[in-house]
Homo-oligomer: A and B are copies of this chain.
Amino acid sequence: MARYFENCAGELASDALSGFARAHADLVGYDAADGFVTALHTAPARTVGLLSGGGAGHEPLHAGYVGAGMLDAACPGRIFASPHNRQIFRASLAVARPEGVLHVVKNYTGDRINFGIAAERLADAGVACGRVLVDDDLASDSEEIAAGRRGTGATLLVEKVLGGAADRGMGLGGLVDLGTSVAARCRTLAVASAAHHAPADGEPAFALPPGELEYGVGIHGERADRTRSWQPLGALVEDMVGALLDALRPGPEEPVVALVNGLGAVTSLELYGIFGELDRVLEARRVRLVRHLVGNYVTALDMRGFSLTLMVADRVVLDFYDAPVRTPALSW
């Protein structure tokens, strides 16, 4: 058992958001009534507002990526629950530009419906609204899963690329096409050696027998479809990267961006060890790794696990990725 540091269980996410807004008052504005944050500084060249959101518990996603060069607004829901369409609608109105607003949505039924309702309301209000759906999770890539692949780690890469493009004045149609094609060239795979603790009671969301790994977990405490026995890191990363490359098949000249992402309670030591293995495997397979991030970027509360995301880029995408960004969680 591991009890959360909080005032009361229902207010963990909302207290966090207000603390976040106070901590980063130099970068973000906060609408307490409707529960969303907005960027204080954003490129005047933008013709489209960029907005994302989803359940809380994945910090720094999404509020951490609000700021110059990335999102104009983020709407977090309660823990692991979709934001309300009202939040999305109001935030969209707050950040819409002449060409409207773009929603970056992770592929979950609740998020699709709530962002969809907001989009209908925006249409009713005469505000143009586009959507980029992120569905990178390889573990949910199966004929049997009608809902399609889940959206996970790639979200922040897609948001970064779109932010760079929006800063150059790209229009709504262009951003939808760009985001959709970037999302299509991202895949993620996640493993865990222990579940997150449920905020309600501090108990692990599921139990794993010692020496077992959950291979293909989601970011809401969903178990994977399979359990594997523990492997030395090199072999584990080799398997994961092999599966990602089989799905993406980057050409020998195509630049690849990697995200080594902690799901919450895995140590920085492990993440850098994982990066070392990843780097080695990609080199051996002659994959052109051109950029990488190592850290906690898309979490699942305090799950003890990590995910690997690969994004196959091109020169244009890389250029947008490299563009300056200044947000609470990403800055260069």
Query: Does B5 lie within 8 Å of A266, measured CB to CB?
Result: yes
The answer to whether the Cβ of A276 comes within 8 Å of any Cβ in the partner chain is yes
Count residues on chain A whose CB falls below 8 Å from chain B CBs. 58
Given A202-B210, A301-B267, residue A275 in contact with residue B5 (CB < 8 A): no
In the complex, per-residue mask of A234-257: 1 if CB is within 8 Å of any chain B CB, else 0: 101000000000000000000000
Whose C-beta in chain B lies nearest to the C-beta of A300?
Answer: B267
The answer to whether the Cβ of A200 comes within 8 Å of any Cβ in the partner chain is no
Which residues on B sit within 8 Å (CB–CB) of A145? Answer: none
Binds B, one of A53-61, A96-104, A106-114, A158-166: A53-61
Which residues on B sit within 8 Å (CB–CB) of A8? Answer: 232
Query: Does A23 lie within 8 Å of B294, measured CB to CB?
Result: yes
The answer to whether the Cβ of A174 comes within 8 Å of any Cβ in the partner chain is no
Number of copies: 2
**Dominant SS at the A interface?**
mixed
In the complex, per-residue mask of A6-48: 1 if CB is within 8 Å of any chain B CB, else 0: 1110001101111110110000000000000000000000000
Whose C-beta in chain B lies nearest to the C-beta of A18?
Answer: B276
Partner of A304, one of B2, B59, B275, B296: B2
The answer to whether the Cβ of A125 comes within 8 Å of any Cβ in the partner chain is no
Cα–Cα distance between A202 and B4 once the two chains are bound (Å) = 21
Cα–Cα distance between A84 and B90 once the two chains are bound (Å) = 58
Q: A5-B193, A7-B232, A16-B268 are in contact. List 9 more A-B contacts (CB 8 A).
A: A1-B210, A2-B194, A5-B306, A7-B233, A19-B276, A57-B269, A59-B267, A64-B268, A79-B269
